[in-house]
Amino acid sequence: MDLLVILRDALASSFVGGLLTAMSAKQAGREVGVLLTQEALAAVAGGTFGWPRELSGQEMRLTLADQGAALGIPLLGRGEGRQLDVNGLLGKAREAGVAVYACPTWTALLDLQDKLPAGLKSLEPAGMIALIEKSKHVVGAL
C-alpha cells in the first residue's frame, strides 16, 4: 500500500478531504486505502455526517455544493436543498479502486461485525496492524 488514509471523526469535511486525496493518489497510479475507525465508522454505518461550525449554514452549504459539483463530488437534493453527498463520494472512491477498510476494534465496539455497509472490507486486528506496517505513508490517527 502506497498511501493509507485513516478517518476517525464523523465530520463530512474530513471525509471529503480524505476521500478526494485518496482518489487523486489512486488516479496517479498509487495503491491507496482508507481505514474507517471511531466516529467515521459509525457515520458510514448510520449514514449521518456532521459539519464543523465554520462550514455549516445555508449559504456555506450551497457554496460547497456548487464548488464540489465542479470537482466531481456527488450532490444530494436540488435547488436550495442541494448539498454534498458524502456517502455518494465514498461509493465513488470505492468505484475508483480505493480500498475501504473497517477498524476491527470499532467494528466490535459498535456491534457491526455482521452489519458492515456494502463495500467496507472487514479486518482482523492482525490484518489492521499488517496494513499499517506495510503502508509507505499513513495519514491520520487511530
Q: What angle is formed at CA 127 by the lines to CA 123 and CA 132, rounded to 5 degrees?
A: 110
Name all domains of the chain by residue range, CATH numbers in brackets: 3-48+86-139 (3.40.1260.10)
Model confidence over 28-48: pLDDT tens digits? 999 999 999 999 999 999 989
What would the grid cell of residue 134 be? 506495510
What would the grid cell of residue 24 be? 487523486
Q: What is the pLDDT of residue 3?
A: 98
- Comparing CA positions, the residue from 120, 73, 93 lying closest to residue 24 is 93
Q: Rounded to whole angstroms, how far apart are CA atoms 34 and 112?
A: 18
Q: Which residue has the cell 496517479?
A: 28
Q: What is the pLDDT of residue 42?
A: 97
φ and ψ of 90, to 5 deg: -60, -45
Model confidence over 115-125: pLDDT tens digits? 998 899 999 99
Residue 32 bridge partners (DSSP): 3
Whether residue 25 contacts residue 2, with contact meaning beta carbons closer than 8 Å, is answered with: yes
Could you tell me the pTM of the whole model?
0.94
